[in-house]
Amino acid sequence: MSLDLILRVGTKLILPFVLLFALYVQFHGDFGPGGGFQAGVITAGMVILLAITFGLDAAQRIAPPVVVQRMVPLGVLIYAGTGVAGLLMGRNYLDYSVLSHDPAHGHELGIFLVEAGVLITVAGTMTAVFYAFVERGR
């Protein structure tokens, strides 16, 4: 227990920054490298790091399995729903022009929503798969 003190304190110190970096990658994906997929993986990585260092229960207090499992289809629904919005407004599926008065702003908003959907699905799937493996190994 005393040997992994550095590991525990170190993990506690970097966890918020890992999550912050994931959010940076997500919302800065419009300007630099990154996007929903990478941000989702980094978010899942934060939960996995927590589970490795502090045990599965600590990780599942922060990211409950029920929430994680709901996230898996939710992201796909957000993505597909953004496309349906275009259909309802009389344009093509996944045409983001209708989301705002200015077509360019509509596209910006559409990309934002779609990336959010990807983030939710990827983070949820990676965490859920990790939970499934760990619970199986018990």
Partner 1 sequence: MVLLTLLAIVTLAIVRQRSLFGVVVLTIIYSFLMASVLIVLDAVDVAMTEASVGAGVSTVLLLATLHLIKTTEMRPVRTQLLPMFVVLGTGTVLVWGTLVLPPFGIADTPIHKHVAPRYLADSIKETNVPNVVTAVLADYRGYDTLGETTVIFTAGIGVMLLLRGARRRGRADSEKEPL
Report the sign of the C-alpha dihedral through residues 70, 113, 14, 123, in that order. positive
Applying CB under 8 A, among 7, 17, 30, 84 the residue interacting with partner 1 is 30
Which one of 8-16, 54-62, 72-80 is the stretch in contact with partner 1 (CB under 8 A)?
Answer: 72-80
DSSP, res 3? T
Greatest alpha-carbon span in the chain:
64
In the complex, the smallest distance separating the C-beta of residue 93 from partner 1, rounded to whole angstroms, is: 8
Applying CB under 8 A, among 50, 59, 60, 96 the residue interacting with partner 1 is 96
DSSP, res 92? -
Count residues near partner 1 (CB under 8 A). Answer: 51
- Applying CB under 8 A, does 47 fall inside the site for partner 1? no
Q: What is the x/- site pattern for partner 1, positions 116-135, by CB under 8 A? A: -xx--xx-xxx-xxx-xxxx
Residue 122 CB contacts under 8 Å (≥ 6 apart), including other chains: 36, 37, 39, 40, 41, 44, 75
Give the C-alpha separation, 79 to 85, whole Å.
10
In the complex, the smallest distance separating the C-beta of residue 1 from partner 1, rounded to whole angstroms, is: 22
Query: 103-137 and 65-88 helices cross at what angle (nearest 10)?
Result: 150
Applying CB under 8 A, among 42, 50, 59, 85 the residue interacting with partner 1 is 42
Nearer to partner 1, 8 or 37 (CB): 37
